[in-house]
Structure 1
Amino acid sequence: MLSKAGVTHSKGAKYVIETIEVASPKENEVLVKIAGCGLCHTDELAQEQVIPVQLPAVLGHEGAGVVIEVGSSVTGVKPGDHVVLSYASCGHCETCLDGKPYVCRNNAQLQFGGAMSDGTKRLSLNGKEVSNFFGQSSFAAYAVANERNVVVVDKEVDLTILGPLGCGFQTGAGTVLNGLKPKFGSSIVIFGTGAVGSAAIMAAKIVGCQKIIAVDVVPAKLELAKEIGATHTINGKEIADVVEEIKSITNGGANYSIETTGVPALVNQSLHCLRTLGQSAIVGVSGDVTINVFDAVMMEGRTMQGFIQGNAVPQLFIPKLVEYYKAGLFPFDKLVKVYDLEDINQAFDDTHKGLALKAVVKM
C-alpha cells in the first residue's frame, strides 16, 4: 500500500514528505489508517541520532487511527476499531510476564532497532527498506503495528487528538496514578509543564493532592498549569531559590516531585525540595547528574526512582484516561494544537518556541 509519510533521511535533517510503500501486516500485526500523531521529544532524539535509529526512518510513536486490516492470528482487534498505538513489548520476557511490559527486557530493540519484532521491516521507499520506530512509525497515513501495541478506544472521542495518550500523556498521568500513587491531601511538585508535566498535574488533581506546584520558566505554560489543576506556580527565572520557595509553600517540603525536563540542576531541585521520606520520580531524559547522595537522599530517607511510560499497561490504562477525559477530569484537549502532516517541521519549531504545548499532525 502506498502511504504519505514524513521521512527522516539524515542526522538532524528536516522531515521530508514522501510516498512510501507499506507492506501488509503479518500474522500478529494490524494495519492502521492514521488519523493523527503526537510529536514527542523522543522523536527528536532519534532525528538527532541521540537514539541511533538507522536512517532513513519514519518516526512518530503517538499514533491513533482506524484498523483497516488484521493478521491471521490477531484476536483482540478487528477492522473498524478505533485505536491508539503505544509502545512495543515482547510479551515473553520476565518483566512482560510479570505484568510490567513498560520495562520489557527487549525494550530498546523493539522501540529503536528499526525493525518489527521478527527482525524484518514493513516500510520501503523507492525499493529500499526504511526503518520503523516504536513498532509503529505513525508520521504516516498508514502504519503497521504489532497487536501488543494497539489499544481499542471509544469511538465517540475525536481520534485526531488521542495519539499522545500512547506516550506523553500516559507517561505523565501514569507516573502519578500508577507510580507515585500520592496520598489524598499530599503535596506534589512538577518540574516542567510540557505535555508530560501537564498530564501529571491533571492526574494529581484527580487523586486529590492538596498542593500541586508547577515549576517552569514560560509564563504561558504556568498560566495553563493553573487552569488544569496547579494550585501554585513558580517561575524559575523569577524566583531566586526554587527549593526554598517550595518548602515555604509546603511548610517544610513536598511529599512528591516529578522531574520531566532532564536538566541536571532541576533533578537536584526535585530531590532537595522534598520533606523527609519524600519521593522523586524521574521521567525526563537526563544525562550525567552530580548528586550529593548523603545530603539529597540518604540523610532524609528520600527515594529517587525512574519511571518509563508511567508504569502503564496501555490496554488497561489508556481507556481509563479516555473515561477521565469524557468526564471532564483529564482535559488534555486544552494542551493540543493540530497541524497538517505537511507542516510537521513547523510543528516542531512551534513546540520549541513555546507556541504549541503538544503538537499533533493530522493525516
Structure 2
Amino acid sequence: MPETRYQRAKAVLCRTTGASVVVEDIDVEYPRRGEVMIKLSACGICHSDLSATNGTIPMPAPLVLGHEGAGVVVALGEGVTDFALGDHVLSSFVSMCGKCRYCQTGRPQLCDQAAKAAVSLPDGSVRTFGLDGQPINVFSGCGVMAEYATLHVDNVVKIAQDVQLDHACLVGCGVMTGVGAAVNTAKVEAGSIAVVFGCGGVGLNAIQGCRIAGAAMIVAVDMADAKLDLAREFGATHTINSATPELVKAIRKLTGGGADYAFECVGKGEIVAQAYGVLAKGGKAVVVGVAAPKDMTTIRTGSLTFEEKTLTGSYFGSARPRQDFPRLLALYREKRLKLAELITRRYRIDEAPQAFADLAEGRNARGVIMFD
C-alpha cells in the first residue's frame, strides 16, 4: 500500500456550535481517485457559514467552514481528466453527479448526491484531519476556508485564468444565489417591477440579477439605511426602510398596485409573508434566504387560486454551475456584473473570528479571507 500523503494547512473551524470560530492547523490528505487538491487564494465569508456555527443550519462539529472558494489545482487524483495542474477553479457547494434525474433534467442544484455530501465528500469520507489524527467534517463537501482543500471533481468548476480570484470566489455562492434567483428561478422579464427584501450579500446580487434582466423598477427593502444606499449602487431604483409603518401597503402604493416579483433574502417567515403580500395579481415571490428549521410562514390560501400568485423557493439560484459560473464571469468582464464592489473588507485567515463577528453584525456586503 502506498504511504498516505498530507499537506499541512491553516483552516477556519467550528469546534462548538454557538461559539466563535477558531483557526487551527489541520492535515489535508492528497486526492484519491476522482479528486483534486486546491491551493486556495480567497474564500468568501457567507451567511451560511455563520448559520452553520450558530445552529441555523444544523451541521455536526468539528467542521471546516467555507464553500465559496477560488484557487489553483495543485494535485490530481487517479482518473482525473477534466482538470490539470495550474487550473483556476471555483468550489461548488452542490455536488453534481450528472446521472440522477435532477442532473439529467437540467436541475443539478437539486442533485441527489448533494445530500450525501453535506459534511463529507460524496463517498461519505473526508480528507481533513486534526493534528491528533481525528477526522474533521467539511461544510457542504468543500471546507475551503483553508489554505488547502481536497474536493471531489463533482464539487469543482474550472474558470478562465484572467479573472482575479478574490473577485471570482464570490460567484461560488452569494452571486450565483442572488443573480440566479432573479434570472434562473424567477425569470424576471424586461420592464417588470421587482422588490428585494434584505440587502446583504445575496440581496445585492438579487438586485443585480433584476437589473441585468431589465427590470424597470427595483425596490430595495432593508432596516439599515447604509445597506439601502449600497443597494442603489447595485441597481435599485427605489429604497424603503423596513421599519416603515404598514410596510406592505407602502410598497404596494410605491409600485402602483404591487410587484411582478419579490425576493426574500433574509430567511424569516414573517418576511416571506411580506414578500408574498406585495405581489400584484400573477406575481411571483421567491424565497432565497435560509430560515431556521422551525420557522414558518402564513399566506392567504385563496390568493393562490383567485390571484394566480406563486410562492416558490430558490436553492443556489437554480444554478447549473458549470454553465452559469463562466457566464457570470463573462458578465463581470463586460462590466455588467459587479464583483469587486461587493467586497467590503479582506481578512487574513488569523482574523477569521473578527470576520465572522463583522458578518453577524451586518457590517459587510461581503468579507473575503485572503490566503496569498
Q: CA deviation at 1:339?
A: 0.9
Alignment of 1:76-95 (within 5 A): 76-87=82-93, 88-95=95-102
Following superposition of structure 1 onto structure 2, how do residues 15-54 of structure 1 map, counting pairs within 5 Å?
15-54=21-60
Q: Distance in 2 between matches of 1:254 and 1:292?
A: 16
1:7 counterpart residue number: 13
Q: Distance in 2 between matches of 1:347 and 1:116?
A: 26
CA–CA distance in 1 between the matches of 2:180 and 2:91? 16
Q: CA deviation at 1:54?
A: 2.5
Match of 1:322 in 2: 329
RMSD of aligned Cα (Å): 1.4
Q: Decide which of 115, 119, 123 is 1:118's aligned counterpart.
A: 123
Match of 2:107 among 76, 100, 108: 100
Aligned with residue 349 of structure 2, among 312, 316, 341: 341
Contact 1:347 1:356 in 2 (8 A): no
SS of residue paired to 2:141: coil
CA distance in 1, matches of 2:261, 2:151: 36
Match of 1:283 in 2: 288
- Checking the alignment, whether the CA contact within 8 Å between 1:254 and 1:278 is kept in structure 2 is yes
Larger mean CA deviation between 182-191 and 87-96 belongs to 87-96
CA contact (8 A) 1:161 1:360 kept: no
Q: Secondary structure at the match of 1:184?
A: coil
- AA at the equivalent of 1:202: Q
CA contact (8 A) 2:193 2:216 kept: yes
Task: Give the TM-score taking structure 2 as reference length.
Answer: 0.93
Matches of 2:115 and 2:305, distance apart in 1: 31
Amino acid at match of 2:101: E
Q: Structure 1 residues 290, 321: closer, same or farther in 2, change over 3 A?
A: closer
- Cα displacement (A) at 1:215: 0.4
- Correspondence 1:1-363 to 2 at 5 A: 1-87=7-93, 88-110=95-117, 112=118, 114-125=119-130, 126-237=132-243, 239-286=244-291, 287-336=294-343, 337-363=345-371
- Once the two structures are TM-superposed, the CA of residue 290 in structure 1 deviates from its matched residue by 3.7
Q: Aligned partners of 1:181, 1:44: CA distance in 2, in Å?
A: 29
Aligned partner of 2:4 in structure 1 is none
Contact 2:168 2:339 in 1 (8 A): no
Shift of 1:165: 0.9
The letter of the residue matching 1:76 is: D
Residue identity in the other structure for 1:145: L
Q: CA deviation at 1:350?
A: 1.3
What is the TM-score normalised by the length of structure 1? 0.95
Q: What is the one-letter code of the residue matched to 2:312?
A: Q
Q: 2-side partners of 1:345 and 1:162: how far apart?
A: 23
SS at match of 1:106: helix
Seen in structure 2, the aligned counterparts of structure 1 residues 296 and 334 have a Cα distance that, compared at 3 Å, is: farther
Matched residue type, 2:112: R
**Residues paired across the two proteins, number:** 360
Which letter maps to 1:266?
I
CA contact (8 A) 1:6 1:341 kept: yes
Deviation at 1:296, TM superposition (A): 4.6
8 A Cα contact 2:43 2:69, kept in partner: yes
Unaligned runs of 5+ in 1: none
Any idea what the Cα deviations from partners look like across 1:281-301, whole Å, max 9, x if unmatched? 011123432423335533311
Shift in Å, 1:104 = 1.4
Give the Cα–Cα distance (whole angstroms) in 1 for the partners of residues 164 and 280 of structure 2: 42
Mapped partners of 1:40, 1:361: distance in 2: 11
- Spell out, residue by residue over 1:36-68, the C-alpha distance to the aligned partner (whole angstroms, 9 max, x if none): 111112212222234332221211110110111
* Matched residue type, 1:331: K
**Hey, what's the Cα distance between the residues in 1 that align with 2:360 and 2:305?**
37
* C-alpha separation in 1, matches of 2:92 and 2:114: 13
Partner SS, residue 10 of structure 2: strand
Shift of 1:254: 0.4
* d(CA) in 2 for partners of 1:132, 1:294: 40
| Runs of 4 or more above 4 Å deviation | none
**8 Å CA contact retained: 1:37, 1:161:** no
Contact 1:271/1:297 (<8 A) preserved: no
Within 1, Cα distance between the matches of 2:253 and 2:213?
Answer: 23
Deviation per CA, 1:62-119: give whole Å up to 9, x if none. Answer: 0110111122222221111111111223333221222211011233331x2x221112
Deviates more, 1:258-267 or 1:208-217: 258-267
